[in-house]
């Protein structure tokens, strides 16, 4: 069943250099109101092609950790490496997909999907070809010349995924990417997104408040403690009852292991409802 891991089993097992290495990272925010220690001595590796999720109570530092991987924040101590190189700022090797899709309403779907490539000064003809290919893969092939206002929330997130992938990052960071969607759309899109990301060979770090989403979508679930965020435990998701091959997120939800992992992670989160 669940394997509680000592660091860093998956990367060591794969015998390849991790895509992401987080070594003894702490982060403190300084504001006029004072100092907040958001993260305390986090060490975590993500292997090539591995999908990892971060869960923990609100304010435990999940988004802060993603921002460090994205190079938007610098650690107060410790270091973050992507492909062995120390992260010193945003890099084309790392793609970031957020809860809000931030599509530009005045650009067509195809032009939205090529935005990152345009900002990076890449050849636009190739970028448009890759964007069209990705939009087809994401089920948006019939909407290349539509505009964002003509799309549903789920369709907009598919476009956001294509835009994230157009520059071919090695690592994709997902910060609660489906939390604005209704529950049925969430289930459907999780399957599609995982399929596209696995097919593209990406390493993925997902931040979510949804335990079920973490179990269904990722290979390893990392539980952070309350602030300051520390790694409380890590759990490999294994679905032996499914037979060979990784079940899709939708299939995972009907397997017996799903409920076992859910109970385990719920206990780990130690959620208390005030009052
Ligand atoms: N720019 C900032 N300046 C000061 N403190 C901040 C800043 N950003 C986050 N924090 C604080 O750092 C801590 C971690 O925040 P973070 O957003 O990373 O947590 P989180 O786990 O992603 O929360 P949530 O689940 O609610 O999104 C919180 O206490 C938050 O108030």
pLDDT of residue 14: 45
Q: How far apart are CA 178 and CA 142, in angstroms?
A: 22
* pLDDT tens-digit readout, 7-37: 444 444 444 688 899 999 999 999 888 899 9
Assign 273 a pLDDT band (cuts: 50, 70, 90). Answer: low
Residue range 163-202, pLDDT digits in tens: 999 989 999 999 998 888 888 888 888 888 999 899 989 9
In this prediction the pTM is 0.90
Q: Is the ipTM of this complex over 0.95?
A: yes
Task: Calculate the alpha carbon distances from 81 to 1, 85, 93, 204 in Å.
Answer: 31, 5, 11, 15
> How many angstroms separate the alpha carbon of residue 59 from the centre of ligand 1?
5
pLDDT of residue 274: 62
CATH architecture entry for 3-93+171-269? 3-Layer(aba) Sandwich (3.40)
Residue nearest atom 18 in ligand 1 by C-alpha distance = 61
| Nearest partner of 236 among 255, 249, 223, 254, judged by Cα | 223
Which atom from ligand 1 is nearest to the alpha carbon of 30? 4
Residues 6+ apart with CB under 8 A from 160: 97, 98, 101, 102, 103, 177
Cα torsion 204, 207, 213, 214: sign? positive
pLDDT in tens, 101-124: 889 999 999 999 999 888 888 889
pLDDT exceeds 80 at position 136: yes
DSSP states along 208-229: -S-HHHHHHH-SEEEEEPSSSB
268/275 Cα distance (integer angstroms): 21
- Ligand 1, CB within 6 Å, residue ranges: 29, 31, 36, 38, 56, 58-64, 227
Is residue 18 within a helix (H) or strand (E), and if so which, with residue range? none
Q: Where are the domains of the chain?
A: 3-93+171-269, 104-168
**Ligand 1 atom closest to Cα of residue 39:** 14
CA 28–ligand 1 middle distance (angstroms): 10
- For residue 100, name the pLDDT band (cuts at 50, 70, 90): confident
Distance 62 CA to ligand 1 centre (A): 8
Within 13 A of 266's CA, how many CA atoms are on the CB side? 8
């Amino acid at each position: 069943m669940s394997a509680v891991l000592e660091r860093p089993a998956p990367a060591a097992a794969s015998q390849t250099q991790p895509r992401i290495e987080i070594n003894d990272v702490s982060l403190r925010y300084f504001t006029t109101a004072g100092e907040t220690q958001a993260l305390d001595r986090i060490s975590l590796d993500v292997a090539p092609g591995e999908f990892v999720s971060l869960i923990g109570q609100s304010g435990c530092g999940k988004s802060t950790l993603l921002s460090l991987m994205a190079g938007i924040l610098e650690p107060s101590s410790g270091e973050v490496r992507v492909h062995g190189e120390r992260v010193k700022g945003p890099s084309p090797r790392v793609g970031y997909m957020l809860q809000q899709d931030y599509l530009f309403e005045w650009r067509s779907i195809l032009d939205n999907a090529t935005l990152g490539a345009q900002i990076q000064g890449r050849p636009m003809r190739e970028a448009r070809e890759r964007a069209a290919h990705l939009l087809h893969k994401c089920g948006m092939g019939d909407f290349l010349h539509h505009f964002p206002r003509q799309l549903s929330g789920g369709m907009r997130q598919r476009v956001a995924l294509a835009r994230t992938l157009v520059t071919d990052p090695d690592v994709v960071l997902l910060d609660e990417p489906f939390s604005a969607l209704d529950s049925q759309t969430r289930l459907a899109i999780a399957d599609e997104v995982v399929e596209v990301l696995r097919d593209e060979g990406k390493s993925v770090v997902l931040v979510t408040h949804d335990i079920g989403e973490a179990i269904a979508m990722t290979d390893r679930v990392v539980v952070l403690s309350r602030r300051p965020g520390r790694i409380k435990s890590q759990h490999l998701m294994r679905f032996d009852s499914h037979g060979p091959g990784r079940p899709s997120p939708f299939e995972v939800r009907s397997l017996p292991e799903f409920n076992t992992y859910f109970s385990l992670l719920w206990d780990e989160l130690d959620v208390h409802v005030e009052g």
